[in-house]
Amino acid sequence: MQTLTVDWPDLPAGVGVLSTLRSGGVSMGRYGAISVSGAAGSIESAAGATSDRGGGLNLGLHVGDDPAAVEQNRRLLRAKLPAEPAWLAQVHGSRVVDLSSAYDGLSISEADASIACRPDRVCTIMSADCLPVLLADCRGTQIGAAHAGWRGLAQGVIEQTVAAMRASGADQLTAWLGPSIGPKAFEVGIEVRRAFAHLGPEAEAAFTPAPRGADKFLADLAGLARIALRRSGVTLVWGGQDCTVSDPAKFYSFRRDQVTGRMASLIWIR
């Protein structure tokens, strides 16, 4: 199983993290691993992507893949972890669940973030363009994970997650932003820009006019997340450079492919 290198300099020694890639599993077809012709790392290279027979590490049971393949992929992932991942039923909202109480490893309904302060809990976010945000108390006593698509960001999922961690005893926090749709690929309508009006001029700077004309913008999802983190008092922020759309060999992307798999970003206390 292949994973992304997580560059998080101030991650506490007692905290583990993992971010999966597209390849390294058993999914096939649209969910499989791919080879790419043309220049790697460019949005245009997606046009040269071709599906191999298998090898995909899709972790989403809700996207049309063979359930048996997904379960095998989850078993491969589980072998790298200290406990079962907490698979949230993500709904692009802002609800935060505390995993520190009894938890049996089953999916949790309608939540887009989780926190924990126990070493046998694995906070988990699935994504295929939306931004996974992992958080840790700098003492290594609290962890959290948020699913930050634009709807969740506009509803305050990051602020809610930080507030829940602090209510549970967290002090100074550090954050890592995982792979997501990048600012050159995320074209949105004016309604998305308006959804962040409450954040003022700082958020307006995260939207630039798109080449295609009026009322279309290119949105910086990671930039909006950094604003939300900063407003919540989190200034130690890393990552956010990997664009899911522009690197089809590494990442699933719903915006690019429509029918596709899901990756996972996970954090736990050792």
Segment 66-70 mean pLDDT: 98
What DSSP line would sit under 47-101, residue for residue? GGEEE-SS-E----TTSSS-HHHHHHHHHHHHTTSSS-EE-B---SS--EEETTS
- Of 39-43, 76-80, 128-132, 229-233, minimum mean pLDDT range: 39-43
Cβ atoms of 77 and 264 closer than 8 Å: yes
pLDDT at 117 over 60: yes
Task: Give the whole-number percent of the chain exceeding pLDDT 90.
Answer: 84
Report residue 266: phi and psi, to 5°: -135, 150
CA torsion angle 122 18 63 194 (round to 10): 90
Whether 66 shows a pLDDT value over 80: the answer reads yes
Strands (E) across the chain are located at 15-19, 23-27, 34-36, 49-51, 56, 85-86, 96-98, 113-116, 122-127, 131-137, 143-148, 173-177, 187-189, 207-209, 216-219, 236-239, 263-269
The answer, yes or no, to whether residue 167 has pLDDT greater than 80, is yes
Spell out the domains of the chain, with CATH numbers in brackets: 15-184+233-269 (3.60.140.10)
Residue 47 has pLDDT above 60, yes or no: no
**Which of 119, 23, 114, 113 shows the shortest CA–CA distance to 76?**
23
**Do 137 and 118 meet the contact criterion of CB atoms below 8 Å apart?**
no
pTM over 0.85: yes
pLDDT (tens digit, 9 = 90+) per residue, 122-153?
999 999 999 999 999 999 999 999 999 999 99
Neighbours of 53 (CB within 10 A): 9
Please choose, from the candidates 228, 248, 142, 150, the residue with its C-alpha nearest in 3D space to the C-alpha of residue 192: 150
Q: Which residue has the tokens 């027979």?
A: 53
Considering only 56-65, 109-118, 184-193, which range has the smallest mean pLDDT?
109-118
* Cα-based distances in Å from 120 to 44, 82, 263: 42, 7, 21
In this structure, are residues 158 and 146 in contact, taking their beta carbons and an 8 Å threshold? Answer: yes
Q: What is the pLDDT of residue 35?
A: 74
Give how far the C-alpha of residue 114 lies from the chain's centroid of Cα atoms, to the nearest Å: 13
* pLDDT tens sequence across 200-258: 899 999 999 998 777 899 999 999 999 999 999 999 999 999 999 999 999 999 999 99
